[in-house]
Chain A
Amino acid sequence: MAKAYDYLFKLLLIGDSGVGKTCVLFRFAEDQYNATFISTIGIDFKIRTIELDGKKIKLQIWDTAGQERFRTITTAYYRGAMGILLVYDITSEKSFDSIRNWIRNIEEHASADVERMLIGNKCDMNDRRQVSKERGEKLAIEYGMKCMETSAKLNENIENAFFTLARDIKAKTEKRLNQNRPGSNSQNGTGSNTKLKPKDNGGSKSSFFKMCTIL
């Protein structure tokens, strides 16, 4: 069946163990209806469909399998990634200090033009804050990233973070497409990233893509 979307973006979450990556990506399950089959085996990735400026975008969002604990995130995990959320915990100085190391890791293993964004998670725990918002912003500016504070617990800014990252990747992709218009763009191995598609089943779009479907 025809591909009914405009773009496909692979997104990753990176950061120290315990900063809340899994909660950001998945459901913040405090009141675990736990010991279900699913929570026992764990979740690998999700596919989300969002709409931005009339374009239908598929997001494939991956969680780490906990490799970050051993700092063994390698090329395989980064392969094809177009966007990375770099997550620290605002109540953990150490997790914030680690961001520079993670950036180095990304530079080493990920594609050079991967879009990055800095996330200060757990902003619901202001009373235990160790990292000021200003320091987050300063670091983000230093590396040319956007930044945002989130709370997976209160579901605050999570959706916004994914949309912002997706929007920036889209802008970058479209800019590149325009630049390369006359020739074929072969610089980016996986052509599937920027595939232009026939959108066949038009019709009543608006209600399908309510902006709140991402977490």
Chain B
Amino acid sequence: MTECTEAYNLSELVSETNTNLKKVKCLRCDSFILQPNSGLFTKLEMSLSIPALRQKKSIVTGDSIEYELLQNFWIVNDAFTFENIGFTNTVDNKKYLICADCEIGPLGVQNLDNPNEFYLSIDRVKHVN
């Protein structure tokens, strides 16, 4: 909970019905990811540990992946709710969400134990009107 620098103000992002007020886009390339009012805001009590966007070391060996704890998500219940999104291959029973255009990621995660819940990290996207 210490690391999450809230560069955004949640009250400006979350609607009264707890959904995303604004369009969600890729931080890097502006790809349109989610329509307004399509994801349900969730602040997790137990943060999810998700690989960092930028890995400092080379991770060819796979044993030195850097993770980041993330707490705020838009939960989407149907993959086709996304405007544009990519899915990685499965690792540890999870698929990671990536930008469909520039392939930056992970932007979120789908745990295949709960395949109908797609967690899109609020920290790793941008919100625009």
Residues on A lying within 8 angstroms of B by beta carbon are 1, 3-5, 8, 26-27, 29, 35-38, 40-49, 58, 60, 65, 201, 208, 213, 215
B85 within 8 Å of A by Cβ? Answer: yes
Residue of chain B at shortest CB distance from A5: B80
In the bound complex, CA of A29 to CA of B31 (Å) = 17
Q: Is there an interface contact between B35 and A26, defined as CB atoms closer than 8 Å?
A: no
Indicate which residue in B59, B62, B81, B86 contacts A45 across the interface (CB closer than 8 Å). Answer: B86
In the bound complex, CA of A65 to CA of B100 (Å) = 18
B95 within 8 Å of A by Cβ? Answer: yes
Residues on B lying within 8 angstroms of A by beta carbon are 31-32, 35-38, 51-52, 54-55, 58-60, 62, 65, 77-91, 95-96, 98, 100-106
Q: Is there an interface contact between A36 and B79, defined as CB atoms closer than 8 Å?
A: no
In the bound complex, CA of A45 to CA of B62 (Å) = 22
Q: Is there an interface contact between A47 and B84, defined as CB atoms closer than 8 Å?
A: yes
Number of A-B contacts (CB under 8 A): 97
Q: Is there an interface contact between B62 and A40, defined as CB atoms closer than 8 Å?
A: yes
Indicate which residue in B32, B87, B88 contacts A208 across the interface (CB closer than 8 Å). Answer: B32
Having A1-B38, A208-B32, one finds 17 other A-B pairs with CB under 8 Å, namely A1-B78, A1-B81, A26-B86, A29-B103, A38-B96, A41-B91, A41-B96, A43-B87, A44-B88, A46-B84, A46-B85, A46-B87, A46-B100, A47-B82, A60-B79, A201-B35, A213-B32
In the bound complex, CA of A46 to CA of B82 (Å) = 10
Taking CB atoms, residues of chain B closer than 8 Å to A5 are 80
CB distance from A82 to the nearest CB of B (A): 14
Q: Is there an interface contact between B31 and A38, defined as CB atoms closer than 8 Å?
A: no
Taking CB atoms, residues of chain B closer than 8 Å to A58 are 80
In the bound complex, CA of A155 to CA of B71 (Å) = 37
Q: Is there an interface contact between B55 and A48, defined as CB atoms closer than 8 Å?
A: no
Question: Contacts A35-B60, A38-B88, A40-B62: A3 and B78 contacting too (C-beta < 8 A)?
Answer: yes
Q: Is there an interface contact between A35 and B58, defined as CB atoms closer than 8 Å?
A: yes
Taking CB atoms, residues of chain B closer than 8 Å to A35 are 55, 58-60
Question: Contacts A38-B106, A43-B89, A201-B36: A48 and B100 contacting too (C-beta < 8 A)?
Answer: yes
Taking CB atoms, residues of chain A closer than 8 Å to B105 are 37-38
Taking CB atoms, residues of chain A closer than 8 Å to B54 are 36
Question: Contacts A37-B51, A41-B96, A44-B95: A213 and B84 contacting too (C-beta < 8 A)?
Answer: yes
In the bound complex, CA of A3 to CA of B82 (Å) = 11
Q: Is there an interface contact between A49 and B55, defined as CB atoms closer than 8 Å?
A: no
Question: Contacts A37-B59, A213-B32: A49 and B87 contacting too (C-beta < 8 A)?
Answer: no
Q: Is there an interface contact between B80 and A3, defined as CB atoms closer than 8 Å?
A: yes
